[in-house]
Structure 1
């Protein structure tokens, strides 16, 4: 495992550096590292590491969501209002509708298979989006209009909604009936996650004010509690979103103890340097490139087609807002990248023995290969042109 980790970090950082030199997103080099070193190519990543790759990817996601929470101001989210709520589910719904309309014609699959495929592909990737939005907030682009905050908030909830939809469609394909309670669980899991995170954030703010300790110790405490929250998501008998709880823990810690939150945000930023490499290399290791090569032009056309539906959904969310045309265009571009959820659930229909499993996995793989680097590239090369910089 140790030699595998050395390959991951050395090759991943090197290829990331190469990509940045030619003005491509660094994560493209990391994903390619995973494909190259993974089990479907050179096989240089130890199987014991691959067996826990989902947990390692979740740790990286926890780190970046915690940092996002520490940098998000609730007053910004309140100012955004209605669009922030709509961004949590409307674009994903539009993308699933697009898949249901297009996939049967382009790939010759059934409506139910198209719904399953749509629920796999529709999730946006916080791992790609969150670091980019934090960069915009650091540089002051779009912050006056709360654009990075809007996209951050939507991306964190979008995944919860899509995974519930995926579970419902998968159950239907396996002969189960759709349980209305599973849809009721979406707002409940979000609400319980917010409440739990808010209480913990306030509690930690009081605790850190009264007890002097090194910031490194605070980081370890926060990460340990975050790991517990993610574990409780599957263990609790009530609907609960651990990832939303983690982000709101950071938000309320920042709200009640801003001095500590600024220092902790810097520490989490340093942790992200290593976590980012691990996350995207392991995402790449999940990609079976032979599936992508067999997909053909129809699958590629399908991905770009449903992305247009997603962008239309974002446009509708932003109607009657004060955002300019260029700012709305940026939001439509920034809300497209996919990676982590597709890597996590893309193979589930195949493992469940469904006839659509192979094609769902193929399209999931292609969506990562196309949208993650393309989305990161477009964000990086358009934000200075499309957004206003806050001079303050």
Structure 2
């Protein structure tokens, strides 16, 4: 019986021992779980990851180029301007006014570059060579041209071809001529430099106009008469004309040949650009074929690669008027044969690339303007020339849309919408200064610096004011229609 009792007691005792053995690790695991530290998540994790990625990027680049990534090197300066420009663009986005389109981030990027250049300690370390700056701006110009070519809507152009053509050509040419006249008498510019300046100022900015028009179109303002569509389409043509005119006068200004030879050369370069663009455009339309994988990426790479080759390669060959025109033509011709959804994928890839180059472009332009090098009366005469040219542009734009069936308020709105300047001015503004430095023509540097100062002031004054005017005047001047009527 005792054995039996012992036997009966043993399993119970064993069970209790087993239970104790199980509870001890459980309690220890709870303590361990309380003491264990988990890695951060959310915004903190994102920030740490971003910092580490930047650090590794810096180390990888240092492995290739060495001292260029140290303070004072071009890559270090580019990184400083890029980050300052990004910060400036983000800060501008915090300024919000009810019922008004948001201020364009490019304004903050421009001011950030200006701060970098004119803050002594930062300026000493954030320096970029002229060669690097030139290539970066030319690449940004190429992306602008590709986006303009992809943004051209053949159906909208067919529907509004008469008024679109007038609005694309008239204001740009008239403002270029008026700026040439005013700069000649106010700023004492030679006539060629006056027209070169005029085509810098003559371009409207799609970066400001297009988002504002899309916002009005989504709300149903002016949709029935197609006013937002008209302005979006015309802004691309306006830029093409300004870039072509500028390149022609840049070639004439820096060439010692007679004027008639320069005019013939300009026509010759335009023919080369259009012909090359059509041929390359038809090639990209059919190669790669629709049955291939990663089709959008291949098309985007071919578009950007051929356009960059056209813009930078033509400049290296001395054919300044061919590159930009060729890039626009090849982009437009190739996209005509693509389906809408596939075209939109290519547009998205190019737009993502623009996110990187936009801060660099406007930051570099802002960094070219030095307060120390500005003469006391320079800003005053630049603002006077810009103001008079803008006044002429507004009046001419109003007259050109007077026979289109628009009401008086709608004509006023279209005229005021044609004020903003930004992207083309940022690209073209420094080119004359680069050309005078590369060809060692110090007698032209004073004019070139004034051209760049005018470009800077044009962006600073017209971009925010233009966006505000569109947002304030649009809902009051345009009829409220259904968005489906577009």
**Cα root mean square deviation, aligned:** 3.5
Structure 1 SS opposite 2:403: coil
The CA distance in 1 between the partners of 2:320 and 2:302, in whole Å, is 25
Matched, 1:64 2:144: yes
Which of these residues, 95, 114, 125, is aligned with residue 22 of structure 1?
Answer: 95
- Structure 1 residues 246 and 105: CA distance shift in structure 2, 3 A: closer
Could you tell me whether the CA contact under 8 Å between 2:310 and 2:323 is conserved in 1?
A: yes
1:135 aligned partner: 211
1:263 aligned partner: 345
Deviation at 1:321, TM superposition (A): 2.8
The higher-RCO structure (CA 8 Å, 6+ apart) is 1
Matched, 1:308 2:391: yes
Matched, 1:227 2:319: no
CA deviations on 1:152-182 (whole Å, 9 max, x unpaired) are 12212221123213432454xx574442413
Matched, 1:380 2:453: no
- Structure 1 residues 286 and 125: CA distance shift in structure 2, 3 A: farther
1:286 aligned partner: 368
Deviation at 1:99, TM superposition (A): 3.7
Could you tell me whether the CA contact under 8 Å between 2:426 and 2:455 is conserved in 1?
A: yes
- Structure 1 residues 40 and 225: CA distance shift in structure 2, 3 A: farther
- Structure 1 residues 362 and 300: CA distance shift in structure 2, 3 A: farther
1:91 aligned partner: 171
The CA distance in 2 between the partners of 1:239 and 1:52, in whole Å, is 19
Matched, 1:33 2:33: no
TM-score (norm 2): 0.67
Which of these residues, 70, 78, 85, is aligned with residue 158 of structure 2?
Answer: 78
Matched, 1:155 2:231: no
**Unpaired segments of 5 or more residues in structure 2?**
1-68, 70-74, 97-102
Matches within 5 A, 1:144-223: 144-145=226-227, 146-171=230-255, 176-179=258-261, 180-185=263-268, 188=271, 191-192=274-275, 195-196=278-279, 198-204=281-287, 207-213=288-294, 215-223=296-304
Which of these residues, 256, 268, 275, is aligned with residue 357 of structure 2?
Answer: 275
Could you tell me whether the CA contact under 8 Å between 2:248 and 2:321 is conserved in 1?
A: no
Deviation at 1:222, TM superposition (A): 2.8
Q: Structure 1 residues 207-216 or 35-44, which shifts more?
A: 35-44
Larger Rg: 1 or 2?
Answer: 2
Structure 2 SS opposite 1:117: helix
- Structure 1 residues 316 and 199: CA distance shift in structure 2, 3 A: farther
CA deviations on 1:261-288 (whole Å, 9 max, x unpaired) are 1122222222221111111111222223
TM-score (norm 1): 0.81
Q: Structure 1 residues 62-71 or 86-95, which shifts more?
A: 86-95
1:343 aligned partner: 430
2:197 aligned partner: 120
Structure 2 SS opposite 1:47: coil
CA deviations on 1:116-168 (whole Å, 9 max, x unpaired) are 13312432487x72333442465463672322111112212221123213432
Aligned length: 382
Deviation at 1:331, TM superposition (A): 4.1
The CA distance in 1 between the partners of 2:116 and 2:449, in whole Å, is 19
